[in-house]
Amino acid sequence: MSGLGESMRKIVLAASVLLTVMSAEAAEQATIDTYNKTCVICHGSGAAGAPKFAHQEDWSPRLAKGMPALKESVHKGLNAMPPMGMCQDCSDEDFEKLINYMSTGK
């Protein structure tokens, strides 16, 4: 019977790992989808001075200000970017993920 219990533990562990990976991939895809719906219009081309997607020279000075300052800029709006960017239903966590994605491309 102990062999069956060990097998069951391995199956449960494998399923747990698989679900964790799938969940992470789904969250990553959600960030990409949100970027494509709400951010790419300006950050894809650098329109109106927006830092371009994965362009280190554009993002470095902004990232140096820290995530709290970046989120404050998103919440309040900055230059041509309206308050909350174009994502009125994004949470702070969503904005952090979007900023990380836009600044690194990953």
CA separation (Å) from 36 to 1, 16, 39?
53, 30, 6
pLDDT above 90 for 56: yes
User: Percent of the chain, pLDDT > 90?
Assistant: 75
Please tell me the predicted confidence (pLDDT) of residue 68. 98
| pLDDT tens digits, one per residue of 10-48 | 776 665 665 565 556 878 999 999 999 999 999 999 999
Domains parsed from the chain with CATH numbers: 27-104 (1.10.760.10)
d(CA 19, CA 12) in angstroms, rounded, equals 10
Q: Over 31-82, what HEC string results?
A: HHHHHHHHCHHHHCCCHHHCCCCCCHHHHHHHHCCCHHHHHHHHHHCECCEC
- The pTM score is 0.80
